[in-house]
Chain A
Amino acid sequence: MNEQEREQIEQLIHGFLDGELTQRQRTELKRLAQHNPSVKKQLHSLYRQKELFSALPVEKAPKDLAEEVRRKLERRMILDTEPAVRIHPLGRSYLLYRRIAAAAAMLFLPLGILAILVIQIIKPVDEMPVGSPSAVVESPDLSIRTASGPAAAGSEQTKVLSMGRLTLVTDQPIVVNELIKNGVLSNHLLSEASSQRTESSAVYRIQCRQRKMLSLLKSLEPAWQNSSKQRLAIISEDPASAEPIMIEGIRPEQLISLAEESNPARIQMIAAHMQRLNRINPEDYQIRVEKEGGRGSVLEPVKPRIAWTEENKERRTTEPNNEVQMVLVIEIRNQTAQ
């Protein structure tokens, strides 16, 4: 029996053990086993070996595994840590890809560095970039002032408007985080969004066109159901006021109304209205009326009419302005970590 035949017989034996042989192959193996005692012996011992390993009892996973996974996910969401064990795709194609990438890097990296050095040397000093657009002023706590100005050197017509900082306090940070991520992905805002993690919160900064911002905000409405507190903070442009405009309990439709505006002064005005409106406690306006029978009843207060929703409705821009870029900072704060 030569090496090739031996290998073929082994393939037949293993295929038989695994039930992967065709009828013809099974007949062939039976015939071989009948005429060759060594094949029969090998088939028997491998069958016994397989049987034994298949009979090994199943070990149960630790009981708290699901809980540990949940904890790990939360920790990772908050700290944004790297996994303990990285996945490295194995296999020849990946190895080839890595080799090509390494060769390309070795070739282009020195060229790139050289090119940058040459550009630095030959570029006139007065053409150097003067910094990022100054119109968007970020305060240290990531709140953004409402201001307008050119978004980038190349697109002087584009205005940048800030929507401020939206804080969502939740005991389900993973869910809210996923909603934001899905919103960003479904609105194709991946390149316009950045994120930052702290121990107890995740902060997203999204800068995009007004149309996209409106679409994003509409897709984020479910985040309100999964959060216990919502607040929008906008730095006031009023020189007399040092405090930012804080809209406690801001509702999704209020935020969308703000995003529909393209004038920074109007955003400030509307935000100030919303701040006052949301502070109103309905109980303060309840009027107790004594009825003739002596039994009291409570009348619902008439909600104050807001100027911007009524008389300014006609003046409001109905179509999103493509020349306006909007910036919104969203902070997801973990309630349990507080």
Chain B
Amino acid sequence: MLLWASFVTIEVLKWTDKQIETTDNTLQESIDNTTINVDEQDLIRRCQRGDQKAMEILIVRYQDRLYNTILKICSNPEDAAELTQETFVKVIEKITTFKGKSTFYTWLFRIGMNLTLTFCKRRRRLPVQSLDGSLNVQADTAASRLSAYLTSREKLDPADLAQDREIRQILLQTLERLDEDHRAVLVLRDIEGMNYHQIAQILEVELGTVKSRISRARANLKELLETVLA
């Protein structure tokens, strides 16, 4: 009887959690749908009428965030610039089809991620890519500083470490060794700071897939970092 009671309690708690999560998602969706401010709606409407000035404002508004995200995924500044341009070209060409069902930001990133992941997957198949995969750790000091930071219990400022060019290089090269799908979720979550719901919308996958990908991506990254720093 006691076992039965505890089983029922656990199931009820699980159900409650699920309900809260669903409510959270619905709430997030409604927030996302209302976060297009009036100014942006006006800009989008002007773009849809072919206003070049409005297009330029939209590009300038989002270019750094999009470029930074694409660069962290494709790891090459020229490719990132080209892909960012291509994304904006696509967005402007398709702007008349934008109905505001998601935010403009989500829509823009969806197009950008689609282009970037396709590009990265195609590039991976090219034989010119190095199969060596060894990381070019230039300075032992950088590696040991990084290692100390990851294991230390002291309160340290991560921004100080991230300013170091060599540490940055180690981090980015390690990130580059993850497969594209894992890299994408990690960049969108940890670098761009998106929530699970937005990531699911952008990558057009289920919420559960986002969660499991993030979990696996972080675990893989941790293993890779440990190998590099060993």
Residues of A within 8 A of B (CB): 10-11, 14-15, 17-18, 20, 22, 24-25, 44-46, 48-62, 65-66, 68-70, 72-73, 76, 83-91, 172, 174-175, 177-179, 182, 185
Contacts and interface: CB of A to CB of B under 8 A. Distances in A.
Given A65-B84, A66-B63, A44 B153 contact: yes
Contacts of A45: 150-151, 222
A88 B221 CA distance: 28
B218 A91 contact: no
A50 B218 contact: yes
Contacts of A87: 90, 111, 114-115, 118
12 contacts: A10-B219, A46-B222, A55-B158, A57-B163, A61-B84, A66-B56, A70-B55, A72-B85, A72-B89, A84-B82, A90-B114, A175-B50
A22 B15 CA distance: 13
A58 B64 CA distance: 8
Interface string B183-222: 0001001110101100000001100000110110011011
B190 A48 contact: no
Contacts of A60: 64, 67-68
A119 B92 CA distance: 46
B71 interface: yes
Interface of chain A: mostly helix, strand, loop or mixed? helix
A296 B20 CA distance: 87
Contact of A70 (B49, B52, B114, B195): B52
Interface in B27-78: 49-52, 55-56, 59-60, 63-68, 71-72, 77
A18 B64 contact: no
A69 B52 CA distance: 11
B190 A50 contact: yes
Interface residues of B, number: 73
Contact of B218 (A46, A83, A89, A178): A46
B150 A48 contact: yes
Given A76-B93, A85-B83, 7 more contacts: A15-B211, A45-B222, A56-B171, A61-B64, A61-B68, A70-B56, A85-B115
Given A56-B168, A73-B89, A61 B52 contact: no
A197 to B, nearest CB: 14
Interface of B: 13, 16-17, 20-21, 49-52, 55-56, 59-60, 63-68, 71-72, 77, 81-86, 88-90, 92-93, 96, 111, 114-115, 117-119, 146, 149-153, 158-159, 161-163, 168, 171-172, 175, 186, 189-191, 193, 195-196, 204-205, 211-212, 214-215, 218-219, 221-222, 225
B218 A49 contact: yes
B205 A91 contact: yes
Given A18-B196, A24-B17, A50-B218, A56 B191 contact: yes
A10 B215 contact: yes
A246 B90 CA distance: 38
Q: Pick the most buried of A50, A56, A72: most chain B CB atoms within 10 A of its CB.
A: A56
A73 B92 CA distance: 9
Contacts of B205: 91
B81 A90 contact: no
A22 B18 CA distance: 10
Contacts of A182: 50, 96
B117 A52 contact: no
Given A11-B211, A15-B211, A52 B161 contact: yes
A87 to B, nearest CB: 5
B86 to A, nearest CB: 5
A185 B49 CA distance: 13
Q: Pick the most buried of B72, B89, B153: most chain A CB atoms within 10 A of its CB.
A: B89
Nearest to A182: B96
A52 B50 contact: no
A271 B204 CA distance: 56
Contacts of B85: 65, 68-69, 72
B150 A56 contact: no
Contacts of B67: 59-62, 65
Contact of B186 (A10, A53, A66): A53
Closest 9 CB pairs of A and B: A61-B67, A178-B50, A55-B158, A61-B63, A55-B162, A175-B50, A66-B59, A51-B158, A69-B88
B81 A62 contact: yes
A51 B189 CA distance: 12
Contacts of A20: 195-196
A178 B190 CA distance: 39
Q: Pick the most buried of B68, B175, B205: most chain A CB atoms within 10 A of its CB.
A: B68
A54 B117 contact: no
Contact of B162 (A48, A57, A89): A57
Given A54-B193, A73-B92, A174 B52 contact: yes
